[in-house]
């Protein structure tokens, strides 16, 4: 991308809301006045949004080609998501790192699931004895994270069940940690969670099976949570689809959904760090991190914390600078205060990535 001359962006800068002049010089931020700077935009300036659970390179049937993946990334970028933690993809998306016009990407590699216990064509499907080997492999292939499928429907049991024994999960977590990677896991139900948290997993995705004791354990271990509320809103559809063949599963999903707002808010109130993820990919559309911020507020999270979960707090968690002196100029500008009107997140005035205004 060709960087423009020195640009000035003016307005309240979140999270503190102090009105400032922010200058972009050679792709980086400075607050030192720059003579001759053009004012590019005025409004509320927010650190680049973060989608902490997204799936670039996936559709309903498995991996997509590069052209489709590129469009997914553009949709996410134009929605303000300038940093993506890709929570599992069957496509090799490392080429995105070479594209300055696409969001920064942290890849988890390919999902690792039990044999015939996940969505077809999505995951490495492995036996318990091989789980640690695949965890180490994906730790080397990814960008410091791996993704396990913690539970899924078991046709033998007719309900949600852990994908692997607790000792296999522990060995996989240890193997990934030995390679310098963090571990997250898809978890809808309760049964898989005690072993994962006790084994030192770094993050839980969804987390609808959490209970008070497990929330306390997450706080003690420093385990993070990415609930993907918009995805959880699909639980009634999952229950209806399974009602005839798997009535126990349908009851479980119905119960988990009924308790979902209270479960997630109990974790929030206990101090579990929570981050926003749209679960874009597969059946969920890209470019909708704004919808997840709105969903977090809908279940009870204050707007400041919900937006922080998709911006400054998430960037800090993932080790990427916010709007500090000398940082890469990755930010979004809105024409009104998003903390007072979250709908503005869907219509940014400017999206600036690596110092260049991008998007339509």
- CA–CA separation, 110 vs 88, rounded Å? 5
pLDDT of residue 281: 87
Taking only Cα atoms into account, the Rg of the chain, rounded to an integer number of angstroms, comes to 20
- CA–CA separation, 241 vs 231, rounded Å? 16
Place of tokens 């490495």: 124
Handedness of CA 225, 338, 55, 181 (dihedral sign): negative
- CA–CA separation, 135 vs 304, rounded Å? 36
Q: pLDDT truncated to tens, each residue of the chain (360 aa)?
A: 666 789 999 999 999 999 999 999 999 999 999 999 999 999 999 999 999 999 999 998 999 999 999 999 999 999 999 999 999 999 999 999 999 999 999 999 999 999 999 999 999 999 999 999 999 999 999 999 999 999 999 999 999 999 999 999 999 999 999 999 999 999 999 999 999 999 999 999 999 999 999 999 999 999 999 999 999 999 999 999 999 999 999 999 999 999 999 999 999 999 999 999 999 986 788 999 999 999 999 999 999 999 999 999 999 999 999 999 999 999 999 999 999 999 999 999 999 999 999 986
Instruction: Determine if the peptide bond prior to 149 is cis (ω within 30°).
Output: no
Tell me the β-bridge partners of 207. none
Which pLDDT tens digit goes with each residue over 28-76?
A: 999 999 999 999 999 999 999 999 999 999 998 999 999 999 999 999 9
- Residue 260's Cβ-side half-sphere holds a number of Cα atoms within 13 Å equal to 26
182-187: strand order across its sheet? 123-126, 111-114, 145-149, 182-187, 203-206, 224-226
- CA–CA separation, 2 vs 330, rounded Å? 15
- CA–CA separation, 125 vs 115, rounded Å? 4
What number of other Cβ atoms are within 10 A of residue 222's Cβ? 10
What number of other Cβ atoms are within 10 A of residue 100's Cβ? 15
Burial of residue 89 (CB within 10 Å: 0-12, 13-18, 19+) is buried
Output the CA–CA distances (angstroms, integers) from residue 300 to 181, 189, 226, 296, in the order listed: 32, 22, 15, 7
Longest dimension (CA), the chain: 70
Tokens linked to 82: 């300038």
Query: Which residues have CB under 8 Å from 274's CB, separation 6+?
Result: 224, 225, 226, 227, 264, 267, 268, 296, 301, 309
């Amino acid at each position: 991308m060709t960087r423009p001359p020195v640009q000035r962006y003016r307005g309240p800068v979140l999270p503190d809301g102090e009105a400032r002049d922010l200058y972009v010089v050679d792709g980086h931020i400075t607050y030192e006045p720059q003579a001759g700077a053009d004012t590019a935009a005025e409004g509320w300036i927010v650190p680049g949004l973060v989608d902490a659970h997204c799936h670039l390179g996936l559709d309903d049937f498995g991996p997509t080609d590069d052209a489709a993946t590129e469009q997914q990334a553009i949709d996410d970028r134009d929605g303000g998501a300038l940093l993506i933690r890709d929570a599992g993809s069957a496509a090799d998306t490392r080429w995105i790192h070479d594209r300055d016009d696409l969001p920064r990407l942290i890849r988890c590699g390919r999902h690792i699931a039990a044999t015939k216990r996940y969505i077809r064509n999505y995951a490495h499907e492995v036996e318990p004895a091989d789980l640690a080997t695949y965890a180490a492999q994906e730790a080397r292939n990814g960008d410091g994270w791996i993704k396990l499928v913690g539970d899924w429907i078991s046709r033998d049991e007719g309900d949600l069940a852990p994908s692997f024994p607790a000792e296999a999960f522990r060995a996989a977590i240890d193997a990934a940690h030995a390679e310098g990677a963090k571990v997250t896991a898809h978890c809808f139900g309760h049964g898989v969670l005690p072993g994962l948290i006790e084994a030192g997993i770094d993050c839980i995705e969804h987390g609808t099976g959490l209970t008070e004791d497990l929330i306390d354990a997450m706080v003690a271990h420093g385990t993070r949570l990415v609930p993907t509320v918009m995805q959880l809103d699909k639980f009634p559809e999952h229950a209806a689809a399974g009602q005839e063949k798997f009535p126990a599963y349908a009851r479980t999903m119905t119960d988990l959904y009924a308790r979902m707002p209270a479960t997630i808010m109990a974790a929030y109130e206990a101090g579990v760090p929570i981050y926003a993820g749209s679960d874009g990919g597969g059946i969920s559309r890209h470019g909708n991190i704004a919808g997840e911020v709105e969903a977090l507020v809908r279940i009870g999270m204050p707007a400041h914390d919900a937006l922080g979960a998709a911006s400054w707090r998430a960037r800090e968690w993932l080790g990427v600078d916010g709007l500090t002196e000398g940082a890469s100029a990755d930010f979004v500008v809105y024409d009104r205060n998003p903390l007072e009107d979250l709908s503005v997140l869907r219509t940014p005035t400017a999206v600036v990535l690596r110092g260049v205004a991008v998007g339509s």
